[in-house]
A = this chain, B = another copy of it.
Amino acid sequence: MTTLQTEETTLLTRQQLRDRLQAVGDSRYHHKHPFHLKMHQGQLTRAQLQAWALNRYYYQSRIPMKDALLLAKSDDPAFRRAWRKRILDHDGDQDGYGGVEKWIQLAEATGVSRDQVIPCNGILPGVRYAVDAYLALVRDSSLLVAVASSLTELFSRDLISLRMDQMRIHYPYLVPGLAYFVGRLTQAPEDATFAFDYVATHARTRAEQEQVIAALEAKCTLLWAQLDAIEYAYVTPGNIPPGAFVPTVAD
């Protein structure tokens, strides 16, 4: 017990913190979710990819709202300038489309129309609750915890690289819709570097470091829960709940 208590109050080094976060990603990030494994092995139908793209749009569309809630927590113009980049990446500007628009293009490539996607009708309740829980987490927690909850971006480049390769092989009809992932290949690592540096610098006690790690776990949980809901509803026939999206293709 004495040893444990000593460990719990000892500040982690920057590398130890990074290793702890990596361990969370290795065990809890959604690259291992059965739905993603099926996706990358070419086992999903076009109908299932429609359901995935439409449901995940709810997450994508809320990301800039989440980032605005986070930005509102900081009284430091330099931090806000840096974080504002994320809102720009997702919303775009007059010179180019942002990530939200690019995700719509991915959904269109599955065969779901823009008009079906944008209103967020038919989103699975389990997806909606998980995404809303993310916004509540960011809204109601400290800036440190809110930033830490973005750290899944530490792991997303590898997942996205694999996904793009496998989509080109197994689902060539998606190729016109892959611009979102191309953008994230560079954006996510930049964002993760900034966020890790922020939490490594601003978590000044072991308790705060543990809050950072717990925030990443919570974020992994809510990403995983979205795929649970999608897999349950759209992989086993007969499970689509009332009011939810019904794919427009037979398979």
Using CB atoms, name the residue of chain B closest to A64. Answer: B80
Q: Mark A23-55, 1 if CB is under 8 A from B, else 0.
A: 000000000000000000000000000000000
A68 to B77, CA, bound (A): 12
- Contact (Cβ within 8 A) A77 B93: no
Q: Is A71 an interface residue (CB 8 A)?
A: yes
Contact indicator B71/A87 (Cβ below 8 Å): yes
Q: Which of A44-89 contact B (CB under 8 A)?
A: 61-62, 64-66, 68-69, 71-75, 77, 80-81, 84, 87-88
User: Could you tell me which residues of chain A, from 68 to 119, have a CB within 8 Å of some CB in chain B?
Assistant: 68-69, 71-75, 77, 80-81, 84, 87-88, 90-94, 98, 100-101
A193 to chain B, nearest CB (A): 18
B residues less than 8 Å from A75 (CB atoms): 61-62, 65, 120
Q: Are B68 and A68 in contact (CB under 8 A)?
A: yes
Give the chain B neighbours of A62 by CB distance below 8 A.
Answer: 75
Asked whether, in the complex, the Cβ of B65 is within 8 Å of the Cβ of A77, the reply is: no
Query: A151 CA to B65 CA in the complex, in Å?
Result: 23
Contact pick for A77, options B64, B71, B77, B80, CB 8 Å: B64
Can you give 24 contacting A-B residue pairs, CB < 8 Å? A62-B75, A64-B77, A64-B80, A65-B71, A65-B74, A68-B69, A68-B71, A68-B80, A69-B69, A69-B72, A71-B71, A72-B72, A75-B120, A77-B91, A77-B92, A77-B98, A77-B100, A80-B87, A81-B92, A81-B93, A81-B94, A84-B84, A84-B87, A84-B91
Residues of A near any B CB (own CB < 8 A): 61-62, 64-66, 68-69, 71-75, 77, 80-81, 84, 87-88, 90-94, 98, 100-101, 120
